[in-house]
Amino acid sequence: MPGKTRTQTPKTNPVRVRRARTDIREALLESALVEFGAKGFDGASTRSIAKRVEAHQPQINYHFESKAALWTASVDYLFGLLGQALRGMVPADLAGVGAQEIGPAFAEGIRRFVRFAAEHPELNQIMVHEGTAATDRLAWMTETHVKPFFDAIQPAWQLLRDAGVAAPIDGQILYYVLVGAASLPYVNAPEVRLLTGREPDDPEWIEAHASGLVAILLPGLGV
Amino acid sequence: MPGKTRTQTPKTNPVRVRRARTDIREALLESALVEFGAKGFDGASTRSIAKRVEAHQPQINYHFESKAALWTASVDYLFGLLGQALRGMVPADLAGVGAQEIGPAFAEGIRRFVRFAAEHPELNQIMVHEGTAATDRLAWMTETHVKPFFDAIQPAWQLLRDAGVAAPIDGQILYYVLVGAASLPYVNAPEVRLLTGREPDDPEWIEAHASGLVAILLPGLGV
DNA sequence: TAGTCTTATTATCAATCGATAATAGTGAGG
DNA sequence: CCTCACTATTATCGATTGATAATAAGACTA
C-alpha cells in the first residue's frame, strides 16, 4: 500500500523542538498491546498507538519494521510474560508423577492463568481477535506460542482424568473451555462494567472466579 | 469521512447490464454477519461485504443507511435467532418452581446455547470483538440484547445453587464462565483447526462439548 | 405503450491508512 | 569545539475506506 517515490521537495521549516527518549521502543510496544487488544489489528492505527505515548507515527516504522512487525514483537513480549507467570507449573516429564502431586499443581496453574488474564487482558483479547479469521498472523501465533502451551496441558489433563480428579471432558475441548471461561470477563471487561456494574479487575472478583474454575474443573481435588 | 459536494460531471457510458434481485437485503445482512464476525467492525469493508454476495458497495448505503446501520440490523437479526433457539428455556415466573424442574431445563438451555454458538459463530464473534472497547455499539448491544439474557439467568441460577444442583459460582461470574466456555471453540474455529486438526463444527465435538459443560456446571443433576 | 418509480451501476469525493523521503535536533567521541 | 551517527519531526505519497452524486435499466401503472 505504500508510496514508492518522492517527487516534491518538502518545505524547510524554521523551528523544531525535539523530545529525546530512551524508553520509546518499550513504550510503543506496550501502547500497541493496548490498542491491538481493544481494537484488533485493523482497528488499531499506528497514529493512535504512537499518540497514546506521545510519540510520532513514523517512529513505529523506524523502531520496528512495519505495523505487522510491531504486532509480532508485542505478541512475543506478552507470551514471554505468560511463560514467566506459568513457569514450572507442568513438569516436563510426567513419568512417575502421581495425580496427588499434579492435581494441586494444575489447580495452581489455573489460578495463575486467571490472574494473568486479569492483569494482562491484551493477551487473550489479541488471541480472540485473531482467532476469528485464518490469517498469516494467526498461523504464526498458533504455531509459535499457543501450540506449546496447548501440548503441555494434554498429558497432565489425561493423568488427572484417569485418576478421577478432573471433570469428564476431552482434553482438546477442555483447553477451550478453560481458556474461554478464564479469560472472557477480562477480554470483555468493558461489557462487564456495563452489564454488572462490577469491576472485573477487583481482586475479590478474580479470586472468586479462579476458585470457581478450580472447583468445577477439578471436582476430585477436595479431600 | 464522506464526500459532501460534487463538482465534476460523470461521463456518460454506453452499455450497462443490470441484475435484479429480491433477496438483496437479506443477502447483504448475512454477508455482513460473516465479515463482521471474522474481521470485526473496522476490519470488515463494505466492499468486501457486497462482493461476497456479488453486489455493489453503494447498495449497502441504499438498502441500509450506513455501515453502522447495517451492523445494527445484522446484530438485531442474529439475536432474534438466538431468542428463537432459547424460547421457553427459563420460566418467566420462578415462584413455586422447584429445582427438580428447572435443573433439566437449565441443562437443556446450555445444550441449545452450545449448538447455537456452533451454528452461528458470528454472534459470539461479534460480541467478543465489540466487548473489548467501550464504544457506542457495545453500549447499544449490551443494553438492548445482552442484558435481558443476562438478567433472565440470574434467578434461575440462584435457585439451582440453593438446591445444591449448581456449581458454587457467583451468578454474574457464572454468566461469563458459561458464555466463554460455550463459545470459544466456535468463535476461534480457525485456531481450533490449526491447533487440533479437528473440526469444531462436527456434531461429535459439539455434543461432547455440551455434555461436558452440563456435567461441570450442574454436577448435582445426575441422580 | 408511455410514463413513472424503484434500484442497480458507475464514477468520484474527502478522510484516513501505513509507509517513506526529507529535514533537523541531539549527544557521544575525537 | 567539531564531527557524525542516531533518531525525532515534518511533509507527503499511493492505496483504501465509507459515502454520495449521476446515470440508467427494469418493473409497474395508467
Q: Is residue B2 part of a domain?
A: no
Chain B 11-30, CB < 7 Å to strand D: 12-13, 15-18, 20
Q: Average pLDDT of A77-101? A: 84
Which has the minimum average pLDDT: A7-11, A64-68, A205-209?
A7-11
CB contact under 8 Å between B181 and A185, yes or no, is: no
Closest CA to A112 of A140, A134, A85: A85
| One domain, residues A144 and A51 | no
Q: Is residue B8 part of a domain?
A: no
| Nucleotide nearest to B43 in CA–C1' terms | D17
Instruction: Provide the grid cell at A7.
Output: 517527487
| One domain, residues B98 and B57 | no
Q: What is the number of domains present in chain A?
A: 2
Chain A hits for B180, CB-CB cut-off 8 Å, are 180-185
Closest chain B residue to A182 measured between Cα atoms?
B177
Whole-number pLDDT of residue B90: 74
User: Taking a C-beta distance cutoff of 8 angstroms, is the pair A128, B183 a contact?
Assistant: no
* pLDDT-above-90 percentage for chain B: 82
Whole-number pLDDT of residue A5: 43
Ordered alpha helix ranges (H), A44-188: 46-52, 58-63, 67-85, 99-119, 121-130, 136-141, 147-162, 171-187
Vertex B148, ends B143 and B154: CA angle to 5°? 125
Instruction: Provide the grid cell at A43.
Output: 482497528
User: Taking a C-beta distance cutoff of 8 angstroms, is the pair B114, B209 a contact?
Assistant: yes
**Cα(A142)–Cα(A152) distance, rounded to whole angstroms?**
14
CB–CB contacts below 8 A, A to B: 181
A87 CB below 7 A from strand D atoms: no
Residue A140: CATH number of its domain: 1.10.357.10
What's the CA A113/C1' C6 distance, rounded, in angstroms? 58
Q: Is residue B25 part of a domain?
A: yes
Residue A48: CATH number of its domain: 1.10.10.60
SS3 B88: coil
SS3 B147: helix
- Per the model's pLDDT, the better-predicted residue between B156 and A10 turns out to be B156
| One domain, residues A179 and A95 | yes
Closest CA to A167 of A214, A124, A101: A214
Nucleotides of D under 7 A from a protein CB: 7-27
SS3 B180: helix
Which has the minimum average pLDDT: A71-85, A157-171, B77-91, B120-134?
B77-91
| One domain, residues A136 and A67 | no
| One domain, residues A39 and A129 | no
Q: Average pLDDT of A65-94? A: 91
* pLDDT-above-90 percentage for chain A: 82
pLDDT at A190 over 60: yes
What's the CA A44/C1' D8 distance, rounded, in angstroms? 23
Mean pLDDT score across all residues of chain B: 91
| One domain, residues A135 and A58 | no
Chain B 121-180, CB < 7 Å to strand D: none
- End position of a domain, from candidates A74, A98, A118: A74
Q: Is residue B10 part of a domain?
A: no
B21 CB below 7 A from strand C atoms: yes
pTM assigned to the model: 0.92
What's the CA A52/C1' D5 distance, rounded, in angstroms? 29
| One domain, residues B110 and B34 | no
Vertex A197, ends A196 and A198: CA angle to 5°? 85
pLDDT at B186 over 70: yes
What's the CA B5/C1' D28 distance, rounded, in angstroms? 33
For the stretch B6-24, pLDDT in tens is 444 444 445 677 787 779 9
Q: Is residue B152 part of a domain?
A: yes
Mean pLDDT score across all residues of chain A: 91
CB contact under 8 Å between B215 and A176, yes or no, is: no
Q: Is residue A120 part of a domain?
A: yes
Chain A hits for B215, CB-CB cut-off 8 Å, are 167-169
| One domain, residues B211 and B140 | yes
| One domain, residues B96 and B56 | no
To the nearest whole Å, the CA of A218 is away from the closest chain B CA by 9
| One domain, residues A46 and A139 | no
**Cα(A63)–Cα(A77) distance, rounded to whole angstroms?**
15
Q: Is residue A146 part of a domain?
A: yes
Which has the minimum average pLDDT: A55-69, A96-110, B25-39, B171-185?
A96-110
Nucleotides of C under 7 A from a protein CB: 7-27
- End position of a domain, from candidates B52, B74, B96: B74
CB contact under 8 Å between B190 and A134, yes or no, is: yes
* pLDDT-above-70 percentage for chain B: 91
pLDDT at B133 over 60: yes
* Count of CA atoms in the C-beta half-sphere (13 A) of A108: 11
What's the CA B20/C1' C7 distance, rounded, in angstroms? 9
| One domain, residues B190 and B216 | yes
Whole-number pLDDT of residue A15: 67
CB contact under 8 Å between A37 and B150, yes or no, is: no
Q: Which residue has the cell 477439578?
A: A218
Structural domain boundaries enclosing B186? 88-221
Q: Is residue A107 part of a domain?
A: yes
Instruction: Provide the grid cell at B30.
Output: 448475512
| One domain, residues B120 and B155 | yes
Terminal-to-terminal C-alpha distance of chain B: 62
φ/ψ of residue B15, rounded to 5: -110, 145
Whole-number pLDDT of residue A96: 72
Whole-number pLDDT of residue B222: 75
